[in-house]
Amino acid sequence: MRELLVLAVVVVVTVVIYNGLVKLREQLQAAWADIDVQLKRRYDLIPNLVETVKGYASHEREALEAVVRARSSAMTAQGPAEKGHAEGMLTGALKSLFALAEAYPELKAAGGFRDLQATLADLEDSIQNARRYYNAVVRDFNTKVQQVPSNLVARTFGFRQAEFFEVPESETVVPRVDFGRGA
């Protein structure tokens, strides 16, 4: 009888831990989906931004192409680590584009450009919030996967630690833009 009671307790504890891990995994996937939605909105906005800048500063081809390349790379990146790296490159390219706009007062004053810039700033805030939430869920999930006794259940049922979504510091540095134009 005693063995049966011990077995029942072990089964109940295992089920509770397993369900907790499943719940965190689902939260993790939902949080990643939120990031993905915000990133897609950002990717959809970038071509409009590039076209607007191109209308005023078409000879700044290198900066425009850098944004297009970085967007393409970010769109095809897989997983949080690769996506974080690509997003850092895209953020740097966009910062260069906005720094470039400083040299073109008519572009800076254009309503369409200002609207796109404001929308992008709002999206950046949404991405940042979604990233913070995702990383908090990853932290909770990874902690659960590593703690005793939940690590035993996690290992048994194939739960693995999740990757954080981080943009490397080196890729978010504000770029230096030279408007000397060879004068």
Q: What are phi and psi of 95, to 5 degrees?
A: -60, -40
Q: Which residues contact 110 (CB under 8 A, 6 or more apart)?
A: 52, 56
Model confidence over 71-115: pLDDT tens digits?
999 999 999 999 999 999 999 999 988 888 888 888 888 888 889
- Residue range 141-168: mean pLDDT, rounded: 95
Residue 75 lies in a domain: yes
Residue 48 lies in a domain: yes
Question: 24 to each of 11, 65, 158, 159, how far by Cα in Å?
Answer: 20, 40, 14, 11
pLDDT of res. 170: 55
Residue 7 lies in a domain: yes
Model confidence over 5-14: pLDDT tens digits?
999 999 999 9
Domain span including residue 142? 2-168
| 114 or 17, higher pLDDT | 17
Q: Quote the CA–CA distance of 118 and 107 in Å, as a whole number.
A: 14
Nearest to 27 by CA among 144, 148, 158: 144
**What CATH number does the domain containing 138 carry?**
1.20.1440.20
pLDDT of res. 182: 42
Model confidence over 111-140: pLDDT tens digits?
888 899 999 999 999 999 999 999 999 999
Residue 178 lies in a domain: no
pLDDT of res. 107: 84
Nearest to 105 by CA among 3, 1, 179, 18: 179
Amino acid at 10: V
Contact yes or no for 56/104 (Cβ under 8 A): yes
pLDDT of res. 146: 97
Nearest to 10 by CA among 158, 141, 156, 146: 156
| Total domains in the fold of the chain | 1
Q: Quote the CA–CA distance of 119 and 168 in Å, as a whole number.
A: 24
pLDDT of res. 61: 84
pLDDT of res. 178: 43
Residue 92 lies in a domain: yes
Model confidence over 29-56: pLDDT tens digits?
999 999 999 999 999 999 999 988 888 8
Residue 114 lies in a domain: yes
Residue 173 lies in a domain: no
Residue 57 lies in a domain: yes
- pTM listed for this prediction: 0.84
